[in-house]
Chain A
Amino acid sequence: MDLLDRMGTDGHHPEEEHLERYVMKVCSEREMEEIEDHLLVCEPCRARLYKAEEWVALMKSAVPLGPIRRKPAPWRLTFGQLFARPMLAAGFAAVAVVLLTGTILMRDSFDREERIQLHSTRGASEQAISQASARSRLVLKLDTNGLTGPMDVQIVDSGGAPVWSRAIAGPNPEMKLDSKLDPGLYWVRINSAEGDRHTLREFGLNVR
């Protein structure tokens, strides 16, 4: 239905949209005349026109400015400023890559388990001492062939001070150490768990 049919002579009021277009001066001459005719006799529509004027003015001012962007946290601002310079950003990126790679490699190394087959040192020689890494968590594979009775395993440093010990259950066990060993020479002893607890077998372990 045409605007002119809806308002003016039959008591209908202009729609919001027409009032806004009248305020913006973008309606046709005919529409404008009809709205003005109606406004001459309609107080409520004059009040609506004030509101429409205010609304249009607000929208014309606010919409071009766009929605309000929330203020970023201070740390984001700082990072934003740092990364605003391309060279600086590239430098940070390179350092980050190096650190990340190093961390991954280091973590990989620290978390790695190393299984060590221990050899008896009776008639000791350089080759008889097993080699291990200080960065790895050690799993010692003990040779208990020929040994009987309750036994325990003990690690002592080069000065004879105990570092770690655990009871042995079963033949040729694999003993997982709780913590890493510092670099140095160690002796892994299988002791009898009965009587005078004498050493039944001894292995050399060089941690580097």
Chain B
Amino acid sequence: MAIATEVLGYLPDYRQDQLTPPANPGEGMSPPDGSFESWTNLVTRLQSGDAAAMAELYQVFAQGIRFYLCRQVGPQELDDRVHDAFLVVVQSIQRGEVRDPRRLMGFVRTVVRRMVAAQIDREIQVRRETTDLDHGERIPDQRANPEKSIILRQKINLIREILAEMSSKDQEILDRFYVREQPPERICDEMNLSITQFRLLKSRAKARFGEAGKKRLHPGNICDDQVRTFG
């Protein structure tokens, strides 16, 4: 148990805190339909200086960029970085650097990726230059707080209880996929499974986990259907 807690205790805890957008809830929730025409149209409007197109681009990509940056370089100065990335994207589009508007998503990702690479280079440089001045390195404590650690430990126990109910074959599939990180094709090939069987097993494990979690949270409660019937 100690191993599990240690592993999960060091999971970066950036998710809920830093990635929740400060803007209104509807923002960024409506990407375009994904068709080639809509991306081409958006790029054309941006190149012609359409302010509404700029707002649309921001609405579509701002959260995605925020999400990507946060995962890659952490939550520091996130708003500023998102803003910078957006500006670079808009300016690049307006300069006509988007050769294939249908690949706008790929273009944005490339821009943001380059920004991330530049940021990492800068940080390495800063670290090199300041290394003599520092008396010791500061490493942020990325462990989850005690409450989260307990919740994670409970979840691990729950999974282990579910594993106990599974056949050894099912356990082997999970072990191969999640621990040994074997590709599904290899697992299916070596264990004589179809890809459907493989997916079914994984989804079944998740479903059991969900059910067990519900039972634990509400032991002996009347099920939802009954509540609706009597209510």
Q: Hey, what's the 0/1 contact readout for A36-63 against B, CB within 8 Å counting as 1?
A: 1111111100100010000111111111
Lowest 5 A-B CB distances belong to which pairs? A40-B64, A67-B164, A11-B34, A41-B31, A62-B159
B60 engages A58 (CB within 8 Å): no
Q: Hey, what's the 0/1 contact readout for A8-37 against B, CB within 8 Å counting as 1?
A: 111100001100110010100000010011
Choose among B102, B112, B203 the residue that contacts A16 (Cβ–Cβ < 8 A). Answer: B203
Given A40-B64, A41-B31, A63-B178: 6 more A-B contacts, CB < 8 Å: A9-B35, A24-B178, A58-B156, A62-B156, A67-B165, A68-B161
Using a CB–CB distance below 8 Å, which chain A residues touch chain B? 8-11, 16-17, 20-21, 24, 26, 33, 36-43, 46, 50, 55-69
Q: Enumerate chain B residues within 8 angstroms of A58, measured Cβ to Cβ.
A: 8, 152, 155-156, 159
In Å, the complex CA distance between A42 and B161 comes to: 34
In Å, the complex CA distance between A15 and B174 comes to: 17
Q: Hey, what's the 0/1 contact readout for B22-35 against A, CB within 8 Å counting as 1?
A: 00000011011111
The number of A-B residue pairs with CB atoms under 8 Å apart is 118
In Å, the complex CA distance between A36 and B4 comes to: 29
A61 engages B7 (CB within 8 Å): yes
Choose among A40, A46, A60 the residue that contacts B61 (Cβ–Cβ < 8 A). Answer: A40
Choose among A8, A17, A46, A66 the residue that contacts B105 (Cβ–Cβ < 8 A). Answer: A8
How would you classify the secondary structure of chain A's contact residues: helix, strand, loop or mixed? helix
Q: Enumerate chain A residues within 8 angstroms of B160, measured Cβ to Cβ.
A: 62, 65-68
Q: Enumerate chain A residues within 8 angstroms of B112, measured Cβ to Cβ.
A: 40
In Å, the complex CA distance between A58 and B9 comes to: 11
CB distance from B150 to the nearest CB of A (A): 14
A56 engages B34 (CB within 8 Å): no
A41 engages B64 (CB within 8 Å): yes
Q: Enumerate chain B residues within 8 angstroms of A68, measured Cβ to Cβ.
A: 157, 160-161, 163-164
A26 engages B181 (CB within 8 Å): yes
In Å, the complex CA distance between A24 and B102 comes to: 29
B4 engages A46 (CB within 8 Å): no
Assuming the contacts A40-B109, A43-B29, A55-B206, asked whether A62 and B4 have C-beta atoms less than 8 A apart, the reply is: yes
Q: Enumerate chain A residues within 8 angstroms of B8, measured Cβ to Cβ.
A: 57-58, 61
Assuming the contacts A17-B199, A36-B68, asked whether A59 and B36 have C-beta atoms less than 8 A apart, the reply is: no
A61 engages B171 (CB within 8 Å): no
CB distance from B196 to the nearest CB of A (A): 12
Choose among B1, B105, B178 the residue that contacts A59 (Cβ–Cβ < 8 A). Answer: B178
Most buried by A among B35, B61, B64, B199: B64
